[in-house]
Amino acid sequence: MTEEVQALLGKEYRCLDKGFVRLIDVMGDDAAIVQAARVSYGSGTKKVHEDRGLIRYLMRHLHTTPFEMVEFKFHVKLPIFVARQWIRHRTANVNEYSGRYSEMKDEFYVPDPDQVRAQSAMNKQGRAETAFDADEAEKIRASMQQTQEMLYGQYQDLLATDLAREIARINLPVSNYTEWYWKTDLHNLFHFLRLRIDPHAQYEIRVFGEAMAEIVKAAVPLAYEAFEDYILHARRFSRLELEALRSMLTSLPTVEELESRGLSGREAREFLDKMQ
Amino acid sequence: MTEEVQALLGKEYRCLDKGFVRLIDVMGDDAAIVQAARVSYGSGTKKVHEDRGLIRYLMRHLHTTPFEMVEFKFHVKLPIFVARQWIRHRTANVNEYSGRYSEMKDEFYVPDPDQVRAQSAMNKQGRAETAFDADEAEKIRASMQQTQEMLYGQYQDLLATDLAREIARINLPVSNYTEWYWKTDLHNLFHFLRLRIDPHAQYEIRVFGEAMAEIVKAAVPLAYEAFEDYILHARRFSRLELEALRSMLTSLPTVEELESRGLSGREAREFLDKMQ
Amino acid sequence: MTEEVQALLGKEYRCLDKGFVRLIDVMGDDAAIVQAARVSYGSGTKKVHEDRGLIRYLMRHLHTTPFEMVEFKFHVKLPIFVARQWIRHRTANVNEYSGRYSEMKDEFYVPDPDQVRAQSAMNKQGRAETAFDADEAEKIRASMQQTQEMLYGQYQDLLATDLAREIARINLPVSNYTEWYWKTDLHNLFHFLRLRIDPHAQYEIRVFGEAMAEIVKAAVPLAYEAFEDYILHARRFSRLELEALRSMLTSLPTVEELESRGLSGREAREFLDKMQ
Amino acid sequence: MTEEVQALLGKEYRCLDKGFVRLIDVMGDDAAIVQAARVSYGSGTKKVHEDRGLIRYLMRHLHTTPFEMVEFKFHVKLPIFVARQWIRHRTANVNEYSGRYSEMKDEFYVPDPDQVRAQSAMNKQGRAETAFDADEAEKIRASMQQTQEMLYGQYQDLLATDLAREIARINLPVSNYTEWYWKTDLHNLFHFLRLRIDPHAQYEIRVFGEAMAEIVKAAVPLAYEAFEDYILHARRFSRLELEALRSMLTSLPTVEELESRGLSGREAREFLDKMQ
C-alpha cells in the first residue's frame, strides 16, 4: 500500500449531516489489475506496452475480471433509507449494526435547506432542480427534527418499560442512522458508483458515492481514470440512435484526426468500425 | 405443475396483522431435482432405487446443486424492518415497491398483545417467553398506532406541499409495510427457512418463514421432508461434543437396531462411522 | 406458458457436430417482467401506456431487476472447452455430468472444415476470417479424429484394468463432450448472450449462444426485441468519442425528425440530451 | 499484516507433481473478524470477553458475515480437471490463463504411483484405499506420460501450420496444467475447504485444499481453530439419529463434567439443550 493510500485509511469523509465513509482496508492497486490480466492473457498482452494502456483496454472491452482482483472495505454511517437502496447491490459483504442486539442511536437525517425540494415534474422518482423558499424549507426541517426527537423519546420510554429492543424500534423512522462495514471488489464498486453517482440516483446516496469515488480515485488512479472515460462519461447509443448518427455524419474523420483528439490508434479504428 | 400446486398460486397466506405471502410461480418439483441429479451422477445413481431415497441422499450429503433446479417466486407484503432482515439473503431476485416512485401506503405493523414482551434475559437479540400484562400491552399498542397515524398524517401533509416523495418519506417508521416480488431457488430457500424458522429469528420474520415453509412443503413434499429430517431438525455436534458423546456411550447399536428406528441401512452405517 | 413456448420444450437445437441445447423449463414471460416492474414502480408506471413501451424503457435505463423475474432452464451437450468458458458466468445453477461417477462418452468435437482457420492477425484471441484450403482442413480433421479415437481407446483400456474413473479420464481431451442442466434468470441470460453472441466470442460457444437466443426470442419476444435494440446492437461511446461526435455534427436533428426514424418522443429527447 | 503472514506471501506450496498454491495477498486477520462483529452486535458483544471466545461463538452459531470481512488471493497452478471442480465454487473472483490468447504449456499431471488405484467398491465417485502393484502403476504412468508427450507434439505441429490457438488446443487433455488467480472471502474459503479437504473429495483437489488450509491457519489462527472444532471435525446428526442418540444415553453429564472436557459453560448448556 502506498503512503498516499495508507494516509486515507480511517479518514472520515463526512456525508450528509451526520454520516460518513471511512476506508478501512484495501487489497491491491492498479498493479494488481495488471498482474491478474497478464495471467489471463499471458504473452498476448505483451503488445500493450504499459499498464495504463492495458487497464484502459480492459475497461473499454469489458474485460472485468482483473478489476475484481482489487478489494475495498469501508465503514459507513448512513440513514436507513439510504442503506435500503445500497443493499440492493448484492455482490458485497456486509456487517450492519443491529437494532435487535443494541440500542439505536439518537441520530437522524435532516436534509439541508437546499435539498428541501418539490417533486420533479420530469422524473417520477426524483426531486426538482430548485429548493423550496428558505422559510418553507426551514419550517419543514424544524418539523422533521421535532418528530425525530419525539420518536426517539418514545423509543427510550419503551426501552424503559423493558420492552424488547427488537419491538421497541419499530416506529423509528428510516431517517435514523445506522452503520455498517461494507466490502466489495473494484468491478462491483465501479458498478455501484456508475449507478449511484448518476444524477438519477437519490441525492442522499449520491453523496456517499461521490465520497467513495474520491477514495477509489486515490487508491487506483489509472483504473478510475479509465472508468471515467469509458463508463461514467460514456454513453450508449441504441440501434436506432446509431442509424440516426450515421445518417447525420456526412463524412468520417481519419484515424489521424481522431488521434489528435486523444484517442489511441486502436481506439480510433474501433470508433470508425462502430460508425460504419 | 400438479393441480394441488396450481391451487396454491395466488393464495394469500396472511402474516402478521396486515402482511401476506403469495406464491406467484414455481419452476420444477421433486421430479426436477431427481432429473438434475441423474444428469450429474449418471448411471452412478441407478442404485438408489427411487426418487425419495435419492432426494434424501442428496440432502444428507449436501449435494445441493440439484435443489437449485427448482425456483419459487413469491409476492410478499411485509414491514420494512422485516424486509431489512430478509434482504440479507443475497442469492435472490427482488422487485420492491419504491417510495421514490409511489406514495407509501397507510399500513403499519402493530404487534399482537401476546408479542408485546420484555427483552430476553438469556438472549441479547430476542424477546422474553411471556408477554406483558394485557393492560400494559394494550397501552403500548395504542400508543404505537397513534404514533403511526400521526406520522402518516405528517407524510400526507408534506406531500401536499409538493415536497418530493423521496424526501417526504424519511420519517416514516420501519413498521410501515412495503411489498416485493422475491424469487429464489430451492437450495437458497431452504437456507432462508433454516435461519428464519429458527426460534432465534425475530418472531415477525418467522411468521413469513412458516407460511413459505407450508407452501414449499406442498410443492416439493419429498425435498421438504428431507430438509426437515436432515437439516431443520438435525443438530451439529462439535469436535469436543463428539468426544463427549463417544465417551458417554458404553456400546453402539447394531445396524439392525438402527434400521428398526427408521434409518436406512446406509444411514445406519454412516451413523456408526460418525460415532467411532 | 403459451402453446408456442410449450412446443419448444425439449426440442433439440443442434449445435456443432454432436452438441445441442434444449429448453427444459421456463418461468414467466414478457407479462411477468411487466408485473414485477409495476410492483416496483407502482402508480409511477401508469404513464407508460403499454407493456412493450415499459419493457423498452426498463431495458434502456438498465432497470434490470424485473428481467430477473423470468427464469430459463436448459439442457446442454457441449465440448469441455466450451463448458470452461460458459461456467465463468457465475450467476447460474448447474448440474454437470460427472466423470467421477460415470464413464465419459465416446463423443468428441471435430471442427467443420470451414472452421479450420489460421490464427487471426488482428485478434490475439481469435481465428482468421477464412478457412484453410479444403485438403489441409480435411487432413487436420482426420488427424484430430484419429487422436480422439486413440484417446478413448486408452481410456477404455484403463477402465478395463479397473483403474478409478476419476484417474482414468485425465488424458481425455477438452474436445470431449459433457452435458449439463443450466438455469439462470433472463437478466443474466441477456448478459451471457451479449458476450457470447459477440463476434469476439469463440465460434464454438457462439453457436450455443445463437441457439439460445432463438429460444429466448420465442419465449419473451418483447424483451428480446428491446435487448437487441438497446444492448446487442447498441454501441457505447467513450468520453473522447462523444466529444469527437459532437464536434463532427454541425447541427442536431429535431425531435420530429428523430421520431420519423422510429425513436419514441422520450428517446428522441434522451438522444438530444446525450449529444449536448 | 504480521511478519509471519508477510513471510508467506509468494511462497510456493508444491501441490501434485507440477502444481502449486501461492498466497498473493490477504486483507484482514482475526482482529478484522472481531472488528466487524462488534459493529454488527454492538454492545451486545461486550460480554464475550475476548476475541477467541467471540470468534468461536460466531462460528458455532453460523454468524458467517464477519468471516466475509477477510479476503484471500491465491495464485494456483493446477490441472484442468481440478480447475473444473474448483470453479464450481461461484462466490470467488478468477483470472485464468487463456488458451485462446496464449500457448498452453508443456506440463501435464501424472499421478504418483501410490495414487494409481482401482475404482472404490464402496464409493461410486472415488478410488480404492490401496494402490495398484508397483509394476502395473509404473506401466500406467509411463503410458500416460507418453500420451501427453504425443498430444503436446501434435499441438505444436498444429500451431506450426498457423492453426488458430483456440482450435489447436482442443485435443489437449484435462491433465494439462493451467494457472489462475483466485480470490475469495474467508467464509467462502472455509466452505471450499470443508468440501475439498473432505475424504470424499478427489485426492488431486484435496492436496490443494490442504495447502491452502495451512496458509489460512497461519493467517487467521483463531478462526481456523474454530473452523476445525465447529465445522471440519463436527458432525451433523439427523432427526432420527438424534432420537437414537437420546435413547442410547441413560443419563446426561453435568455442565461441570462437560466443562472438564474443554467445553465452555455456554457450550455445555447448548449441548444439554440439544440432547433433550
pLDDT tens for the 276 residues of chain A, in order:
889 999 999 999 999 999 999 999 999 999 999 999 998 776 555 555 689 999 999 999 999 999 999 999 999 999 999 999 999 999 999 999 999 999 999 999 999 999 999 999 887 888 998 889 999 999 999 999 999 999 999 999 999 999 999 999 999 999 999 999 999 999 999 999 999 999 999 999 999 999 999 999 999 999 999 999 999 999 999 999 999 999 988 888 999 999 999 999 999 999 999 998
Cβ–Cβ of C237/A274 closer than 8 Å? yes
Nearest residue of chain A to residue B112 (CA atoms): A167
Provide ipTM, 2 decimals: 0.95
Any B CB within 8 A of A127 CB: yes
Cβ–Cβ of C73/B101 closer than 8 Å? no
| Chain A touching partners, 3 or more CB pairs below 8 A | B, C, D
Nearest residue of chain D to residue A188 (CA atoms): D93
pLDDT for res B77 = 98
pLDDT for res D44 = 53
pLDDT for res B43 = 55
Alpha carbon of D161 to those of B11, C174, D157, D168: distances in Å?
A: 66, 21, 7, 10
From the list C111, C107, C99, C95, the residue with the least C-alpha distance to C176 is: C107
Joined together, the cell numbers standing for residue A159 give: 426501552
Nearest residue of chain B to residue C91 (CA atoms): B91
DSSP code of residue C123: -
Joined together, the cell numbers standing for residue D187 give: 467464509
Residue numbers in B near C182 (CB within 8 A): none
Nearest residue of chain D to residue C174 (CA atoms): D170
For residues A23 and A9, give the distance between their C-alpha atoms in angstroms, rounded to a whole number: 5
Any B CB within 8 A of D245 CB: yes
Q: Which residue in D6, D33, D181 has the most chain A C-beta atoms within 10 A of its own C-beta, making it the best mutation to test that interface?
A: D181
From the list D117, D95, D268, the residue with the least C-alpha distance to D178 is: D95
From the list A108, A111, A86, A110, the residue with the least C-alpha distance to A96 is: A86
For residues A95 and C221, give the distance between their C-alpha atoms in angstroms, rounded to a whole number: 41
Any D CB within 8 A of B203 CB: no
Any D CB within 8 A of A107 CB: no
The one catalytic residue among B38, B56, B88, B196: B196
CA distance A36 to chain D (A): 6
The beta-carbon neighbor of D172 closest among C83, C165, C174 is C174
Nearest residue of chain B to residue A84 (CA atoms): B84
For residues D25 and D9, give the distance between their C-alpha atoms in angstroms, rounded to a whole number: 7
For residues A114 and A137, give the distance between their C-alpha atoms in angstroms, rounded to a whole number: 8
Cβ–Cβ of C69/B183 closer than 8 Å? yes
pLDDT for res D276 = 84
Residue numbers in B near D260 (CB within 8 A): none
Q: What value, to the nearest 5°, has the Cα angle with vertex B20 and ends B7 and B113?
A: 135
pLDDT for res D130 = 87
For residues A98 and A80, give the distance between their C-alpha atoms in angstroms, rounded to a whole number: 12
E strand spans, chain B = 12-15, 19-27, 71-79, 93-96, 117-119, 127-131, 177-185, 235-237
The one catalytic residue among C169, C196, C235, C239: C196
Which residues 30-89 of chain B have a CB within 8 Å of chain A?
A: 79-81, 83-84, 87-88
pLDDT for res B47 = 52
pTM value? 0.96
Which of A163-172, D22-31, D49-58 comes out lowest in average pLDDT? D49-58
Greatest Cα pair distance in chain B: 78
Cβ–Cβ of D98/C125 closer than 8 Å? yes
Residue numbers in B near C185 (CB within 8 A): 93, 183
Nearest residue of chain A to residue D26 (CA atoms): A27
Evaluate if residue D47 carries a pLDDT over 80. no
Asked if B99 contacts B158 with a C-beta cutoff of 8 angstroms, the reply is: no
pLDDT for res A43 = 55
Cβ–Cβ of D229/B245 closer than 8 Å? no
CA distance A153 to chain D (A): 21
**Cα C181 vs. chain centroid, distance in angstroms?**
15
Mean pLDDT, rounded, of chain D: 94
Cβ–Cβ of B41/D124 closer than 8 Å? yes
**Cα A152 vs. chain centroid, distance in angstroms?**
30
Please list the pLDDT of chain C residue by residue as tens digits (276 residues): 889 999 999 999 999 999 999 999 999 999 999 999 998 776 555 555 689 999 999 999 999 999 999 999 999 999 999 999 999 999 999 999 999 999 999 999 999 999 999 999 888 888 998 889 999 999 999 999 999 999 999 999 999 999 999 999 999 999 999 999 999 999 999 999 999 999 999 999 999 999 999 999 999 999 999 999 999 999 999 999 999 999 988 888 999 999 999 999 999 999 999 998
Any D CB within 8 A of B97 CB: no
DSSP code of residue D108: B
Nearest residue of chain B to residue A139 (CA atoms): B158
The beta-carbon neighbor of A71 closest among D36, D66, D71 is D71
Which of A192-201, B35-44, D211-220 comes out lowest in average pLDDT? B35-44
From the list D8, D89, D26, D23, the residue with the least C-alpha distance to D223 is: D26
User: Is D196 considered catalytic here?
Assistant: yes
Beta bridge partners of D25: D73
pLDDT for res B45 = 53
The beta-carbon neighbor of B42 closest among C43, C102, C185 is C102
Evaluate if residue D49 carries a pLDDT over 80. no
Over range D245-274, report the average pLDDT: 92
Find the helix or strand (DSSP H, E) in which C94 lies.
strand C93-96
For residues B138 and A121, give the distance between their C-alpha atoms in angstroms, rounded to a whole number: 44
Evaluate if residue D108 carries a pLDDT over 60. yes
Any B CB within 8 A of A142 CB: no
E strand spans, A30-126 = 71-79, 93-96, 117-119
CA distance D250 to chain B (A): 9
Residue numbers in D near A94 (CB within 8 A): 65
The one catalytic residue among D38, D84, D141, D196: D196
Q: Three-state DSSP class for D235?
A: strand
Any B CB within 8 A of A119 CB: yes
Question: Look-up: residue for cell 421456463?
Answer: C26
Residue numbers in A near B162 (CB within 8 A): 118-119
| Chain D touching partners, 3 or more CB pairs below 8 A | A, B, C
Residue numbers in B near D234 (CB within 8 A): 236-239, 241-242
Which of B20-29, B120-129, D46-55 comes out lowest in average pLDDT? D46-55
CA distance C125 to chain A (A): 8
pLDDT for res C42 = 66
Cβ–Cβ of A271/C47 closer than 8 Å? no
Cβ–Cβ of B36/C65 closer than 8 Å? no
Per-residue pLDDT tens over the stretch D175-200:
999 999 999 999 999 999 999 999 99
Asked if D154 contacts C143 with a C-beta cutoff of 8 angstroms, the reply is: yes
Cβ–Cβ of D79/C170 closer than 8 Å? yes
CA distance B44 to chain C (A): 5
Over range B97-105, report the average pLDDT: 95
Between A and C, how many CB-CB pairs are < 8 A?
96
The beta-carbon neighbor of B124 closest among A83, A101, A120 is A101
Nearest residue of chain A to residue B95 (CA atoms): A88
Residue numbers in B near D242 (CB within 8 A): 233-235
Cβ–Cβ of D68/A102 closer than 8 Å? no
Any C CB within 8 A of A90 CB: no
Question: Which residue numbers of A are catalytic?
Answer: 196
